[in-house]
Chain A
Amino acid sequence: MSLERVHDMNAEPDPILIAQKLTKLYGDRIGCRDVSFSLWPGEVLGVVGESGSGKSTLLRCLAGIDRPTGGEVMFRHADKPISLFDIPEPTRRKLMRTEWGIVHQNPRDGLRMDVSAGGNVGERLMDRGDRHYGKIRAAAIDWLTRVEIGEDRIDDRPRQFSGGMQQRLQIARVLVPEPRLVFMDEPTGGLDVSVQARLLDLLRVLVRDLGIAAVIVTHDLAVARLLTDRLMVMKDGAVVEEGLTDQVLDDPQHAYTQLLTSAVLAA
């Protein structure tokens, strides 16, 4: 192995996202509490826990949708860390449309249902200023193909699609501006098992090929095992255990994680 490669391996790149003591309170009720972690480019972090554990609250704070009560979210932009809730709202909105994306559990929350598939994918390009119809359409076709939606469906509206197709369309819409960070909230929830498998495989390949960092919130440990590199287990708003995904699932240390992993047949 050459010296250069050795050097490369040891050089620590900067994290793309840092959460520091992130806390969200709803009055007296705790949404999430003191959550800290760093996420590096190309890394996929899973957040698991039962409903009400605070994982969705955490995701909304990380993605800039909800303002946390305490703590900070730092996002690396133009080689500098910026504090997500200290920057002006228009800058944050622009980042949300260009540098990161959100895949919602329900495709209806992430799609324009009365706009064609091509328009849904193309909107993100028009958002960033693309004004050439032919190029926008070509990019839309490319992305529809990548998520295995036939080119002949480009002018159909999402309501004419099955649930799995709608979810794939949403993923294409999120990934077309080539974001560096993607948040996914139960991306396979509400889909049939066979449809889920196809979607998971697609997500795995896309995340790997594009080298994007991702935070995936799920209650499904099988999804977490297939898609994530490491895992945070949440309970009552706090992280009770974190580590390599296979280690957390195969040798859980915390009582709650042991309960969670034993509650399923084979994750």
Chain B
Amino acid sequence: MTMMLKAEGLTKQFVLHNQGSVTLPVFAEVSFTVERGEAVILHGQSGVGKSTLLRILYGNYRPTLGHVHVRHGGDFVDIVTATPRRVLEARRKTLGFVSQFLRVIPRVKTIDIVKDPMLARGVTDDEASRRAGDMLARLNLPERLWSLAPTTFSGGEQQRVNIARSFVDPSPVLLLDEPTASLDATNRDVVVELIDEARKAGSAIVGIFHDEAVRDRVATRRLDLTAYRAAA
């Protein structure tokens, strides 16, 4: 067993300085680890802080207390205290975040969007093209769209481009924020397969899924955040 991610005493409260400095506690003292090949699904009612926790793991939100250690190359990076450039480097090579939204980059071709993370990791252009094509085909995105920029695609098509980009060369640590939401059954099944393949290939996964069926198929373990709910 190889530990890939270790959350240590994560506590989050939002302080709204411009609204009378009101403090909104979310959770306190969340600690857990994720091993290689595990899929930990965050559990709990809406408002319990699942999304907030996922964003803290990615470095997008800053915890009030605590640390997030991610295995990056030979050692661990604390996403909370590392310099921005170390965090960016960890995101480029180790730490992936997949939501249902594609952050649209204007004027870049679909196929290039999917190839981009592979090229950043040193995969050759030929191989990246081949694998990107396979992945887009698997997600039922018509080939005539590959050379277009996804700006004008439907929401579902953009979502699949985003999935293709994220799973064509899955990061060692994958954070999933409802990647299957609003997909049709066929494509949802493909995504579930992709998640499973990534996990079996060694990725450590932390995810949020509202669809109970998907949750059951993906999870190897569940983490209920209700227990960490901070006293308001």
Residue in chain A with minimal CB distance to B61: A251
Given A251-B61, A258-B17, residue A9 in contact with residue B85 (CB < 8 A): no
Point out the residues of chain B lying under 8 angstroms from A244, CB to CB: 59-60, 84, 87-88
Contact, CB under 8 Å: B84 / A243: yes
Interface residues of A in 177-236 (CB under 8 A from B): 197-198, 201, 204, 229-230
Point out the residues of chain B lying under 8 angstroms from A40, CB to CB: 85
Contact, CB under 8 Å: A253 / B60: no
Contact, CB under 8 Å: A5 / B73: yes
Contact of B89 with A by CB under 8 A? yes
Contact, CB under 8 Å: A229 / B18: no
Contact of A250 with B by CB under 8 A? yes
Point out the residues of chain A lying under 8 angstroms from B18, CB to CB: 255, 258-259, 262
Given A5-B73, A201-B105, residue A254 in contact with residue B84 (CB < 8 A): no
Contact of B75 with A by CB under 8 A? yes
Contact, CB under 8 Å: B16 / A10: no
Point out the residues of chain B lying under 8 angstroms from A243, CB to CB: 62, 84
- For the complex, count residues of B whose C-beta is within 8 A of A: 24
A201 and B113 alpha carbons, distance in the complex (Å) = 14
Contact, CB under 8 Å: A229 / B85: yes
Given A197-B106, A229-B84, A258-B18, residue A247 in contact with residue B60 (CB < 8 A): yes
Residue in chain A with minimal CB distance to B14: A251
Point out the residues of chain A lying under 8 angstroms from B85, CB to CB: 40, 43, 229-230
A229 and B105 alpha carbons, distance in the complex (Å) = 16
Nearest Cβ on chain A to B61's Cβ, whole angstroms: 4
Point out the residues of chain A lying under 8 angstroms from B75, CB to CB: 10
A246 and B61 alpha carbons, distance in the complex (Å) = 8
Contact, CB under 8 Å: A10 / B105: no
Interface residues of B in 14-28 (CB under 8 A from A): 14-18
Nearest Cβ on chain B to A6's Cβ, whole angstroms: 4
Point out the residues of chain B lying under 8 angstroms from A197, CB to CB: 106
Which residue, of A204, A230, A251, has the highest number of chain B Cβ atoms within 10 A?
A251
Nearest Cβ on chain A to B81's Cβ, whole angstroms: 11
Number of A-B contacts (CB under 8 A): 58
Contact of A1 with B by CB under 8 A? yes
Contact, CB under 8 Å: A229 / B88: yes
Q: Size band of the A side of the interface?
A: 20 to 34
Given A201-B105, A230-B84, A258-B17, residue A247 in contact with residue B61 (CB < 8 A): yes
Point out the residues of chain A lying under 8 angstroms from B93, CB to CB: 9
A255 and B62 alpha carbons, distance in the complex (Å) = 15
Given A201-B105, A259-B18, residue A246 in contact with residue B74 (CB < 8 A): no
Point out the residues of chain A lying under 8 angstroms from B72, CB to CB: 9
A254 and B25 alpha carbons, distance in the complex (Å) = 17
Nearest Cβ on chain B to A106's Cβ, whole angstroms: 25
Nearest Cβ on chain B to A27's Cβ, whole angstroms: 32
A5 and B62 alpha carbons, distance in the complex (Å) = 29
Nearest Cβ on chain A to B154's Cβ, whole angstroms: 21
Nearest Cβ on chain A to B202's Cβ, whole angstroms: 12
Point out the residues of chain B lying under 8 angstroms from A230, CB to CB: 84-85
Nearest Cβ on chain A to B114's Cβ, whole angstroms: 17
Point out the residues of chain B lying under 8 angstroms from A198, CB to CB: 106-107
Contact of B55 with A by CB under 8 A? yes
Interface residues of A in 1-42 (CB under 8 A from B): 1, 5-6, 9-10, 40
Told that A1-B73, A9-B73, A201-B106 touch, could you supply 8 new A-B pairs with CB distance under 8 A? A6-B73, A10-B74, A201-B107, A244-B84, A247-B61, A250-B55, A251-B55, A251-B62
Chain B residues with CB under 8 Å of chain A are: 14-18, 55, 59-62, 72-75, 84-85, 87-89, 93, 105-108
A sample of 24 inter-chain contacts (CB < 8 A) reads A1-B73, A5-B73, A10-B74, A40-B85, A198-B107, A201-B107, A201-B108, A204-B105, A229-B84, A230-B85, A243-B84, A244-B88, A247-B60, A247-B62, A250-B55, A250-B60, A251-B55, A251-B61, A251-B62, A253-B15, A253-B62, A255-B17, A258-B17, A259-B17
